A and B are shown apart, each in its own frame.
Chain A
């Protein structure tokens, strides 16, 4: 079986954390990731930019609507995800608009905070 682990947390607490606390958190994630990579459980995972970098895409009556921010309605639940590589947000939202679910639900487009090569090494994801 494969499982998706979704990490929820208070963004503002993270943003306001002291450099020391952030360092501790980063170390903890590096250790954790390295552990599940070594144990063979790791299939993929990324660090996301905060929700203020999010854009929500909906298609209604054939028209694409963009909304600044995460805007999933409470009656909508996460049903799946794609990781895509796009040239910029325009290309990403165009692809999001063609996800079948965009016509009835919402696609939140959240940029991935890409790891630098040395970070990938620290997280045990590259050597």
Chain B
């Protein structure tokens, strides 16, 4: 070994292992809170021991083992307070589990279990996102709070509450069986995509993009694909995020104002991400029944590949939206399908479809509906109507950058 490690070196090792160590400790001790405390104490022990004895050959096993002992100590100290038999059961199991050299597969399973638990449908969507960022991604509580624009203390309380629900309601710590896997995986992917969307188009605040959340979501997507190789929808979602993420640098101008797709400088798009995304799209589409993320990623690939807005393969995009509509019928997809079709069959056709949507009374509070109408009305030269559609969209837009983009478009109307 080349010398003894300093604090920084130990921190690097710990950060690399923390997620896996915590996932395994949660399985072993059966309690989030206790496992988190044990992991922290194991890290503290590493900071104390490793500068003396060096970094162990298998730091993960060392940390898990140390955390396990810390958990036993804590259980013993708390034994009077905790539900006694349960604690004794855990303690006995912990003592019996000498398999600290758990094989790689078991540890990989631990991370997957953890993801499925954090994204369990019996938790509120906000709790799922918060827990995933905190426990799976290892974000600090304050950073998780920033997603929802709440103070660290508020976020900490919500996390405690979510963990209490897992414990008290008996949410299992396991990968769902075959018959529920697809459905539950959809829930997990929705959480990951929500984290991405919160970075790509923040629903709160005054910043146009928050690329750190996009990066975190992509990291989660990669982890999921590593844990569930060959799963088509995971490939599709990762491809979708890479392809959208590739365009982040072009999404806002130097002043931080949002740009429309047709205004973006395509030279600023990240070619490497686009290439990686395209490869994954091909894999995602090669499965017998491509799912909604695979189809969305194919649409994103067509946008990313297009040399310009005008030279985009709109016919194929419009066709793919029809496929998506069939797989995942929703008013939002209908709106997107109408916008795409307007590029093939003209703005009049798009407007008819959108007006039919409005007539059904759906998407009443969705600013992108009047925004899309405003665009089509502009293209049809119906400026006065376009102006009032922009007014509607501006009133409904929830983030300041989106509102400013619409105001800019409204000002640009001639006549």
Contact = CB atoms under 8 A, between A and B. Distances in A.
Interface stretch (A6-14, A28-36, A37-45, A88-96): A88-96
Nearest to B167: A53
A114 B170 CA distance: 12
Contacts of A55: 122, 169
Interface residues of A, number: 22
B172 A52 contact: no
A66 B161 CA distance: 18
Nearest to B124: A68
Interface string A79-101: 00000001111101100000000
Contact of A49 (B83, B168, B172): B168
Nearest to A53: B168
Contacts of A53: 164-165, 168-169
A81 B391 CA distance: 52
Contacts of B120: 89
**Size class of the contact patch on chain B:** 10 to 19
B123 interface: yes
Nearest to B184: A90
Given A49-B169, A89-B169, A89-B170, A66 B121 contact: yes
B176 interface: yes
B127 interface: yes
Interface hub of B83, B164, B165 (most chain A Cβ within 10 A)? B165
Most buried by A among B84, B121, B161: B121
A52 B83 contact: no
B142 interface: no
Interface string A34-71: 00000000000000011011110000000000101100
Nearest to B85: A116
Interface of B: 83-85, 120-124, 127, 161, 164-165, 168-172, 176, 180
Given A49-B169, A93-B122, 4 more contacts: A68-B165, A69-B124, A90-B180, A111-B170
